[in-house]
Chains A and B, each alone.
Chain A
Amino acid sequence: MSLTLSLHTLPDVPIEADVICTDKLNNVNEAALSALTIFHGKEQVMLGDFFKVQGKYDGEIRIEGDLSRIKHLGAGMSGGRIIISGNVGAHLGAGMSGGEIIVEGNAGDWIASEMIGGRVIVKGNAGHMVGGAYRGSPVGMQGGEIIIHGNARNETGNAMRHGLIVVGGNSEDFTGVSMLAGTIIVLGEMGIRSGAGMKRAPSFPCIRQKCFRHSPMLAPIILLMCESISHILKSTDYKLMMHS
């Protein structure tokens, strides 16, 4: 049985739960899982204070409930899978190097920022700074794939160096700003100043597929294609292809 975490108490202030990460939960039993520390604002509390823990980690974590105020879920993970049934807060999968996160609802800001590898799929909308660089950091996403079925907001793929971002809906201003390499595909409309300050634009273009705007039926198919292509690329020597 895979590990299931269900939010039973809504937090008063944001929770930082980077402990909910595949790498940190191997061989941990339910009691010990419940006692793991998370930050409720400035207070250290136990995971069990907010989540009902069931099962044991076997490569997959399912998280249920309204997680829109839970931050840093899956941050830094290197393998396994996290499935989030509802909405999720900021910094989801930030800095992750492998594994997969699937969000059924909407995601907050800074999802998969500065990720190195792995895959994040958001079935709803995402916030600002998808796969972006943190303030003061020169490098954003360096590898992996982010697939947003809905819309993304400002600065998608800020300072991106490698990898793939696909947005099924619209993105807002400064999509791909300061990007050096990698691919961003936006099926809907983009805001102003897309690709401002980008380098190597000819070899790794920001693609704007205007035709999909008028045929929304195509968008899910394209998204599915992107997902499966990224699976195939993953199984072959994807990294090599990105470098070539």
Chain B
Amino acid sequence: MSENIRTVKNATCTFCGCLCDDMELTVDLDEHRITKAKNACVLGRAWYAEHVIEDRPAAMIDGKEVDFDEAVEEAAQVLVNAKFPIIYGLSDTTSEAQREAVAIADYIHGTIDTTTSVCHGPTGMAFQGVGESTMSLGEVKNRADMVIFWGGNPAVSHPRLFTRYAVTTKGMFIPNGKKDRTIVLVDVRKTASDPVANIQIKVKPGKDFELLWALRALVKGKSIDPSIEKITGVSLATLEDLVDRMKKCNYGVIFFGMGLTMTRGRHFNSGALMALGTDLNEFTHFVVKPARGHGNVTGADNVVSWQTGYPFGVNFNLGYPRFNPGEFTTVDTLSNRDADAAMFIASDPASNFPKPAIEHMKRIPVISLDPKQTITSSLAHVAFTTATYGINTTGTVYRMDDVPITLRKAYDSPFPSDEEILTAIKKRVRELMLSKYGTSGVRGEAKVASLTPL
């Protein structure tokens, strides 16, 4: 270990949606390593410990090292010349970079989508139909006396959610921590989160919607047939007890995960849960919040919504934003062979997308921005190596409760940040679009108008 040690206080861990901002990092500046991450959970420690500056070229075209400018030029050419370019990813980068990506999608009249579409996308769709009752995690810490986790396993996915905000932590009106809280866990199987729960409810797989609908009826005072146990695996007495507790609590919170959003029924499942929250507000204060996974996936929703009006799956082909999940979401644009060029930012769809989508990725030019070598970057036509957000770059990220947090960097990286690369591509894309189509912005109109005496 060298002598050149630096300590970074109050750094933010960008691994999961909790974005814990109380990290104390010990950084070995000679070795370019974080040697200790005080306060970090098991995921955070791994995130920091495994981060090294890799010996990779900053930019590659077809696997060969090239100048940064050459790679930017090639990326811009690919995006401008494509007829249906798509941009996807964005959940593991700063909101400043996300903003540049939306600008590029707008300039090239392409399609922009985030990893939300394969995780909490159905939640975004349900918001539109049902609405969202929301809160900050600080409110949960200080007020929530009933916390329900539905279809998620925070002990593994968000380890500090329990200790920092939702279960054991003591708050202003929750002086005794866990003793003052009722913790309910709804899942289809035994999970590592089970030990924290006062009430565990095991629902039959794929029956969440039916269970939620029954709960809604009970909250409204309607009678439910005891056969509900046969359908959902949960007895009527348990449901009645749960509803009674929910109505009597002072401040209830429901966190839900992909057990709800990515099982059969999708947006109707999350919509049913949010509708239950709305119903409960007749009796007490209840909020429903998706427990978001990636560090800045909430920021991706926020930035794309703020810039285009829609959270994900936004298409600019006609020059204005249109939202249609199922048509403009990336799994669909790839599986249907619609896309003819793709830029993947800070995500690795080639490792987890359906097979037809990955097959199509191999047929079209792909631009990849990633700090590490991934399956996506290996098949990419243009691959950029980037600095890691939160460790090598500053910027803004959004916690799962939509609270923006500023990052502190631990040490410098030789690689450019996503924001720098995307800004360079945006600048070049703009120049190319102007030279190709003129200042009118409406492509091909002049050509058509001269031929059309309508």
Contacts and interface: CB of A to CB of B under 8 A. Distances in A.
Contacts of B317: 16, 39, 41-42
B454 interface: yes
A218 interface: no
Given A192-B264, A196-B213, A135 B325 contact: yes
B265 A13 contact: no
A40 interface: yes
Contacts of B125: 135-136
Q: Which of A42, A129, A174, A196: most chain B Cβ within 10 A?
A: A42
Interface residues of A, number: 33
- Which 5 residue pairs spanning A and B have beta carbons closest together? A41-B83, A44-B444, A41-B84, A42-B109, A13-B84
B268 A136 contact: no
Interface of A: 12-14, 16, 28, 32, 35-37, 39-46, 90, 109-110, 128-129, 134-136, 138, 173-174, 177, 192-193, 196-197
A43 B82 CA distance: 9
Given A42-B84, A135-B125, A174-B265, 17 more contacts: A13-B340, A32-B454, A36-B452, A37-B452, A41-B82, A41-B84, A41-B317, A42-B83, A42-B317, A44-B448, A46-B451, A129-B326, A135-B323, A136-B125, A136-B128, A136-B129, A174-B268
Contacts of B129: 136, 138
A196 B268 contact: yes
Nearest to B442: A44
Contacts of B442: 44
Contacts of B265: 173-174, 193
24 contacts: A12-B83, A13-B84, A13-B339, A14-B84, A16-B318, A35-B452, A36-B452, A36-B454, A37-B444, A37-B448, A41-B84, A42-B84, A42-B108, A42-B109, A42-B110, A44-B447, A45-B444, A109-B327, A129-B326, A134-B324, A135-B324, A136-B323, A173-B265, A193-B209
Contact of B326 (A42, A128, A138): A128
Contacts of B340: 12-13, 41
A37 B340 CA distance: 21
Contacts of A196: 209, 213, 268
Contacts of A174: 265, 268
B326 A32 contact: no
A39 B444 CA distance: 10
A50 B265 CA distance: 39
B150 interface: no
Q: Which of A40, A134, A197: most chain B Cβ within 10 A?
A: A197
